[in-house]
């Protein structure tokens, strides 16, 4: 890999083929995928319906400039607005680009109100992408290292802390929006208290701020509703989606409603590849397949089954701090850092990752069988128990702690 920049700490494996929830490497070894390419391949690998949509559209028309009407883009926009309750869509190629569009809309909102330094409230353990604007909006200091100066215009507060936002509101008159992941993925599968999103909605209404929900990881059915904020019955002003929208085809979208949906005008924002016929045809097929197979309810059922399995297997296990999840967005938090578990899993033929240093994150595809869900739980619990038996646990670790 001498010709590649060292952007990734890659595992020593080359995947050549996939089918459903399974992958095979260049040596023919099989792996059970509990990560879905980090919440991307919700319909499974090499899905034949998606593959046929790609092949069919590629034979017809792959790309045309956004200076022309694109029927597939218009239809996908209508379908996304239907399932989300939003008014309009802007299509791009990734989640980071969708968040860039959201940030730009928030700034347009501020400047329209005569605010010269529009500020967005963001969360300390958030992750919104890898572009310069989105790392500026991300609380994780590690991903900012070496890239300063950061973009101005972000006020960082603790996640799941309404009072901290109220303090900001009392001190600043240049806030224009709150940007939040309804459930944080990269931050450690952090689920806020019930009522948190409703409180943010009320604060935005009170102060004429926009509520931006980053649904890039938690959206498209992952948590058992189309979008995670729908669990609280609230509606954001702006929402970003990507990942599972394309099941592997790069696509992102920024959705907006009300006045926020009117702020992007010709010449204010754009993209060369975003919303091309191929990507939008795939996005449409993903939505159709999710509805045809009732996969949102299935994600909810599977998530509950797996949570029950983890609680049953790891109850009273010293070193397990917490087990949490919503739908098929699951995390097991340990008392000690555990990045080596990812390699242990690879050796054992099961794929997942560790985030926030000590949280085993699971994002399996929605098409797994009950037996595969049980197999994931069993194999990961075996890895966790074996790891903890050899770990140097803190004295505070004790049987029955939060698990």
* Binding site feature residues for N(2)-acetyl-L-ornithine: 130, 271
CA dihedral for 201, 204, 210, 211, sign (positive or negative)? negative
Task: Show binding-site residues for pyridoxal 5'-phosphate.
Answer: 95-96, 127, 214-217, 272
Which of these, 185, 200, 229, lies nearest to 360 by C-alpha position?
185
Cα 180 to the chain's mean position, in Å? 11
- Cα dihedral 131→136→139→140 (10° resolution): 50
Cβ atoms of 359 and 332 closer than 8 Å = yes
DSSP 288-349: HHHHHTTHHHHHHHHHHHHHHHHHHHHTT-TTEEEEEEETTEEEEEESS--THHHHHHHHHT
Token pair of 229, please? 């904020």
- Side-chain-side CA neighbours of 121 within 13 Å: the count stands at 28
Task: Show binding-site residues.
Answer: 95-96, 127, 130, 214-217, 271-272
Token pair of 50, please? 């998606």
Residue with tokens 């809309």, as numbered in its chain:
105
- The helix or strand, by DSSP H or E, that contains position 188, with its residue range, turns out to be none
User: What does the angle CA 203 – CA 103 – CA 150 come to, to the nearest 5 degrees?
Assistant: 110
Q: Which residues are catalytic?
A: 127, 214, 243
B/e letters for 270-281, b = 16+ CB within 10 Å, e = fewer, are eeebbbbbbbbb
């Amino acid at each position: 890999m001498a010709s590649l920049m060292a952007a990734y700490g890659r595992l020593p494996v080359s995947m050549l083929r996939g089918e459903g929830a399974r992958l095979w490497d260049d040596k023919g070894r099989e792996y059970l995928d509990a990560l879905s390419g980090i919440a991307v391949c919700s319909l499974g690998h090499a899905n034949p319906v998606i593959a046929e949509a790609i092949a069919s559209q590629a034979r017809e028309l792959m790309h045309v400039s956004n200076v022309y009407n694109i029927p597939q883009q218009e239809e996908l926009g209508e379908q996304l607005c239907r399932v989300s309750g939003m008014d309009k869509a802007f299509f791009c190629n990734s989640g980071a680009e969708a968040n860039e569009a959201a940030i730009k809309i928030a700034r347009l909102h501020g400047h329209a109100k005569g605010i010269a330094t529009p500020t967005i409230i963001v969360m300390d353990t958030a992750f919104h992408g890898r572009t310069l604007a989105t790392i500026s909006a991300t609380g994780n200091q590690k991903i900012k290292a070496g890239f300063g100066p950061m973009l101005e215009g972000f006020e960082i507060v603790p996640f799941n802390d309404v009072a901290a936002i109220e303090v900001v509101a009392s001190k600043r008159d240049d806030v224009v929006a709150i940007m939040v992941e309804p459930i944080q993925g990269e931050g450690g599968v952090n689920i806020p208290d019930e009522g948190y999103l409703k409180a943010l909605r009320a604060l935005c209404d009170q102060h004429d701020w926009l509520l931006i929900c980053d649904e890039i990881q938690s959206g498209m059915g992952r948590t058992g509703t189309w979008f995670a904020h729908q669990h609280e019955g609230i509606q954001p002003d702006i929402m970003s989606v990507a990942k599972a929208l394309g099941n592997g085809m790069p696509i992102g979208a920024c959705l907006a409603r009300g006045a926020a949906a009117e702020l992007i005008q010709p010449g204010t924002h754009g993209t060369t590849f975003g919303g091309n016929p191929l990507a939008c045809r795939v996005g449409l097929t993903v939505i159709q397949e999710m509805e045809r197979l009732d996969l949102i309810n299935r994600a909810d059922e599977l998530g509950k089954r797996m949570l029950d399995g983890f609680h049953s297997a790891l109850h009273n296990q010293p070193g397990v701090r917490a087990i949490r999840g919503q739908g098929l967005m699951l995390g097991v938090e340990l008392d000690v850092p555990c990045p080596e578990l990812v390699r242990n899993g690879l050796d054992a033929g099961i794929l997942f990752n560790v985030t926030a240093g000590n949280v085993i994150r699971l994002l399996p595809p929605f098409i797994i069988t009950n037996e595969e869900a049980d197999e994931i739980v069993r194999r990961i619990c075996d890895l966790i128990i074996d790891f903890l038996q050899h770990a140097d646990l803190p004295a505070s670790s004790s049987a029955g702690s939060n698990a």
